[in-house]
Amino acid sequence: MKAKYIFASLVAALAVLAGCQKEVTTHYLDEVAVSSSYVSIPLDGGSTPIGVLAQGSWTISGMPAWLTVSPATGSSGSTNVTFSADKALDGRTAEVLLTCNGATQRINVIQGLATVSPATCAEIIAGPDSKTYRVTGTVTSIANTQYGNWYLQDATGTVYIYGTLDAKGNEKNFLSLGIEVGDEVTVEGPKTTYGTTVELVNVTVLKINKSLIKVETVEPENAELPIEGGDFVVTLENKGQGVYVEIPEDAKDWLSISSIAGNVVTFHAAANTGGDRSTTITLKTTDGKKDYTTQQDLAQKGSIVEITAADFNAKEDGPALFKLKGVVTGIVMDKNDPTKYNKYGNFYLNDDTGKAYVYGLLPEAGGATGTDVLGTKGIKVGDILTVVGPKGSYKDSPQMVNGYYVEHTSVTAISCADFNAKEDGSDLFMITGVVRDIVMDKDDPTKYSKYGNFYVEDETGKAYVYGLVPTLSGKSGQDILTKLGVKEGDTITVVGPKSSYKGSPQMVNGFYVSHTAAE
């Protein structure tokens, strides 16, 4: 007798397994039968069981993050499988696959009633995560053409589309949709927030209104002008009436329109005396009833601006390059091997104004990530490092993103006794200990001497610091101890060369690294 007839005779067993359902509709293949291929879960959350009767080992796959299936695997015989979900803001659906002996049974899961109302970008940004939204806007740029990651903009703001399904609901087939920059697109999908980025994930495209205008070519081809400035030529494919140009307000002081000749627009950029800069130009046309837009990015090289850690942290995010020099502190270690550095090179760089976080260190400009530059070059805590990179942020915390190595000076950590025994020279040493015997101002004994003279004491003895400066090349006489709140009994780390005065060892103009207040 065929297996499907045996399954048919076991409907009663399936009915018992799915006893909470009023009606049992059995769906079966030769290899596996389910009491229902349709599972409904309440919008407020809950669980719904179905019965599975299998001829062999089976697996359920394709569950979205919001859906729990227990058990998701089993063996031959009868099994009660429970589908569970937490409370949802909107209705949602999923299709999971039950596979047994090469055969696949599709099970449709629905939670609540999926009703989606149109929203603006601003309403999406202000709304809760997990809610499904429908929005119409213009494609301003496309970041990934496989998964379909792109930016959608309307009059109220911009949201990031992270994943776009094709016409059959499949992933990784974005190019089949024919979406281009400038098109007006209506999409629908759930919202999530990644860091500070608002995203709609794996959206379904409902409508594409092709733009009448798009960029055909640009000159220079890489859309990047030199520091000296020059012309930038945009040739358009335009099926509308006329061409209109919008230059952002913050770029009007360095970028202007030289001419508009038919569908060719020429811009002129002034010489750049600051850091790298960029802008996005908007080009428009109309059919007499509706406006259509496209956008074009333009970048210009600039000088590298030397900056302090505090000033760097206060800068706006962008492509401008900044040079930071300071002491390496707080290196992030590898999560799988805490004896090794994280291969990307994440660490803090301190100067007398504060500390800046470097998220990723490249061996040179344009170099590869993940090459363990810190380990390869032997950089360690206490070394003096110079890096160049742009200002970025993560969850509102400032950071230099993929800065590149310029140079570093190695510093040797040493005890006070070993420091005193060193020969005088230019080599740099780092000593850590308790602050003792701070020299006071000879004219006002209630204040520290402005030069910062004191002893550092550890378990091996004392080392005299004759002058404390804020950085390796900092100026003396700035009363750094007072400015930083350093007191007797605090633990301090300083770096400097070994010297002597009348046969007595001392560190001359050591520079401040860090300190910890005494309890």
Tokens of 126: 């202000």
Output the tens digit of pLDDT for each of the chain's 519 residues: 444 444 444 444 444 444 444 444 445 578 899 999 999 999 899 999 999 999 999 999 989 888 999 999 999 999 999 999 999 887 888 889 999 999 999 999 999 876 787 999 999 999 988 888 999 999 999 999 999 999 999 999 999 999 999 998 899 999 999 999 999 999 999 899 988 899 999 999 999 999 999 999 999 999 999 999 999 999 999 999 999 999 999 999 999 999 999 999 999 999 998 888 999 999 999 999 988 999 999 999 988 989 999 999 999 998 889 999 988 988 999 999 999 999 999 999 988 788 899 999 999 988 999 999 999 999 998 899 999 999 999 988 999 999 999 999 889 899 999 999 999 998 899 999 999 999 999 999 999 999 999 999 999 999 999 999 876 666 788 888 998 899 999 999 999 999 999 999 999 999 888 889 987
Between CA 479 and CA 484 the distance in angstroms is 9
| Cis ω before 71 (30° cut-off from 0) | yes
State how beta strands 77-85 and 46-54 pair. antiparallel
pLDDT of residue 164: 97
pLDDT of residue 28: 58
Tokens of 352: 């007398």
Tokens of 251: 């770029």
Domains 3-111 and 121-209 share a fold: no
pLDDT of residue 353: 81
Class in CATH terms, 213-300: mainly beta
pLDDT of residue 15: 43
Domain 412-516 matching CATH 2.60.40.10: the answer reads no
Sheet holding 230-238, edge to edge: 213-219, 230-238, 264-269, 255-261
List the one residue out of 293, 297, 284 whose CA is nearest residue 209: 293
State how beta strands 384-394 and 428-436 pair. unpaired
Task: Give the distance from CA 283 to its chain's centroid.
Answer: 30
Structural domain boundaries of the chain?
3-111, 121-209, 213-300, 305-409, 412-516
**CB neighbourhood size of 425 (10 A):** 10
pLDDT of residue 6: 42
Helices (H), 429-506: 480-484
Q: Kindly state the helix (H) or strand (E) to which residue 106 belongs, with its residue range.
A: strand 103-111
Cβ atoms of residues 251 and 279 within 8 Å:
yes
**pTM of the predicted structure, to 2 decimals:** 0.52
Class in CATH terms, 305-409: mainly beta
**CB neighbourhood size of 92 (10 A):** 21
pLDDT of residue 402: 95
Domain 3-111 matching CATH 3.30.1490.20: the answer reads no
Cβ atoms of residues 453 and 439 within 8 Å:
yes
The CATH code for residues 121-209 is: 2.40.50.200
Through-space distance between the first and last CA atoms of the chain, rounded to whole angstroms: 84
Tokens of 361: 């260190």
